[in-house]
A and B are shown apart, each in its own frame.
Chain A
Amino acid sequence: MRLFFLFLLACLTASCNKPEPLYTTQSYVFGTLVDISIYGETDANSQDISNQIIREFQNLHNRLHAWRPSELSSINHAFARGDTPISIKPDLSAMIQDATRLSAQTNGAFNPAIGGLIEEWGFHHDEFAPKKVDENKIKSLVKANPQMSDIVLEDGKAFSKSSSVQLDLGGYAKGYALDIALKELNKVGVKNALINIGGNIIALGKHGDKPWRVGIQHPRKPSAIAALDLNSGWAIGTSGDYQRYFELAGKRYCHIIDPVTGYPVQGVQAVTVLIPPQNNTGVLSDVASKPIFIANPENRAQAAKNMHVENYLVIDSDSKISISPSMAKRIIWLDKDAEKHALSIQP
């Protein structure tokens, strides 16, 4: 009998568990929210590491800012003038090389050289407003055909063969920063962390005895449409039309611009990709959703294949949901309506 009450007591105390060793912090970098969660470290230790990571993010953001004076905008000015090569730091040079390779892999759908188009659409402002664009300006910017392959990197200097090349690493930098953060965490020996930069998330280790779990935002409701477990080293990224967009005459113009037409992509609300651990997991979580977002529905499977993406989810403007077979196995629907309408994509 006594044993029995002891058992009951043990059950109760186990349920009323102590506060778990989870540290979370939030800040604003890259014009968006950065969330860092660290599990299993002392608060003081977690705070030090988080601050260090935030400082690195801030530094990267300042260097890569596309419309304020920065290393990147100096390079853009030099490209536009088309005169002598400008000196470039090794890590930025490596980023440009990597982005050039990825641009080719996406057949130009991911094209960080179209800063001119993004500027014309008015997305180069912290507070962008609905804008009636100059159609002729868009046409001429598309015709100028700025390509990453126009950039020549030699002896620590950068030069562009085309004066139309204007770099905007907005679809690359956040993913790059995730990779940097993961390296930093590994270096200082943190085993469990979750980093979220404006919705792009990378996981390290676990949340206690369970994997980290992330929610996927519903593109039209203030709640999550689904959730999934993000295993150690995996990253998730979404391209959506609901975070940066404006509406003009009842039409939505999102920040994702098709380099071929020069116009914001219509017909898609969100594309989510899940990337397994590799050298540049973070970068891929940022980049790989773009070609799928831009592709016509019939070409999406090929666009995903080109990026070796097996796990992805597409939500169209008519709220039709398509999901790759392997993603369907991982996803946990929270929105019952979405679950009913989700269709499997045939690879």
Chain B
Amino acid sequence: MPKNTRLAFNHKPLIGDWLVIVASMVAVAVMFQQFWSFAPASQLKIRQGNQIIGTYDLNQARELRIKGPLGESIIVINNGQARFKQSPCPNQYCVHQGWLSHAGQVAICLPNQVSLQLMGAKSKYDSLNY
């Protein structure tokens, strides 16, 4: 019967140990890239005039009513995407913008001074030229 029944780790790391260590580091790095840095949009920031109305989780189904100078803008959040559903503005550009789903995307209703901005862990740019 062996003297030592405990699974002791009393030798220097062997090649297999190194392989396990390196492989797990690579796995951590890869997962970090996949699931952290390049995550799709996760939150919606809504602004009205000079104020931030709020930051909302995108992973829900919800309708929000935001009051602006012309009346109420209706914004819909639907599991990872968001859009203007209804707006009191005359030209309806904001409604025509449709669904936003990527970090950094912006929809603006200038007449009613409401803007939607999708936030993620990493946007592809700092500001948008239009």
Contacts and interface: CB of A to CB of B under 8 A. Distances in A.
Interface stretch (B57-65, B72-80, B98-106): B98-106
Contact of B104 (A15, A27, A224): A224
Given A222-B98, A222-B100, A214 B128 contact: yes
Interface in A1-40: 1, 4, 8, 11-12, 15, 26-28, 31-33, 35, 37
B108 interface: yes
B127 A212 contact: yes
Interface in B75-113: 89-91, 93, 97-100, 102, 104-105, 107-108, 110-111, 113
A308 interface: no
Contact of A33 (B90, B100, B104, B108): B108
Interface string A117-137: 000000000111100000000
A37 B82 CA distance: 24
Interface stretch (A86-94, A236-244, A297-305): A236-244
B127 A201 contact: yes
B127 A215 contact: yes
Contacts of A200: 129
Interface in A209-238: 212-217, 222-224, 227, 236-238
Contacts of A246: 91
Given A15-B32, A28-B49, A223-B105, A37 B127 contact: yes
A199 B50 contact: no
A334 B100 contact: no
- Of B21, B107, B110, B129, most buried by chain A (CB within 10 Å of CB) is B129
B24 to A, nearest CB: 9
Interface residues of B, number: 34
Contacts of B115: 26, 33
B27 interface: no
B35 interface: no
Interface residues of A, number: 44
Nearest to B37: A15
Contacts of A4: 21
B129 A272 contact: yes
A290 interface: no
A26 B113 CA distance: 11
Main secondary structure of the interface of A (DSSP, over half): strand
A227 B124 contact: yes
B110 A194 contact: no
A207 interface: yes
B105 A334 contact: no
22 contacts: A1-B13, A8-B25, A26-B47, A37-B126, A128-B91, A194-B126, A194-B127, A196-B129, A199-B128, A201-B129, A207-B126, A212-B127, A214-B126, A215-B104, A215-B124, A215-B128, A215-B129, A222-B98, A222-B99, A222-B100, A242-B93, A242-B130
9 A-B pairs with the lowest CB-CB distances in the bound complex, closest first: A217-B130, A199-B130, A215-B125, A222-B97, A213-B125, A27-B50, A196-B127, A215-B128, A227-B125
Interface of A: 1, 4, 8, 11-12, 15, 26-28, 31-33, 35, 37, 126-129, 194, 196, 198-201, 207, 212-217, 222-224, 227, 236-238, 240, 242-243, 246, 272, 334
Interface of B: 13, 21, 25, 28-29, 32, 36, 47, 49-50, 89-91, 93, 97-100, 102, 104-105, 107-108, 110-111, 113, 115, 124-130
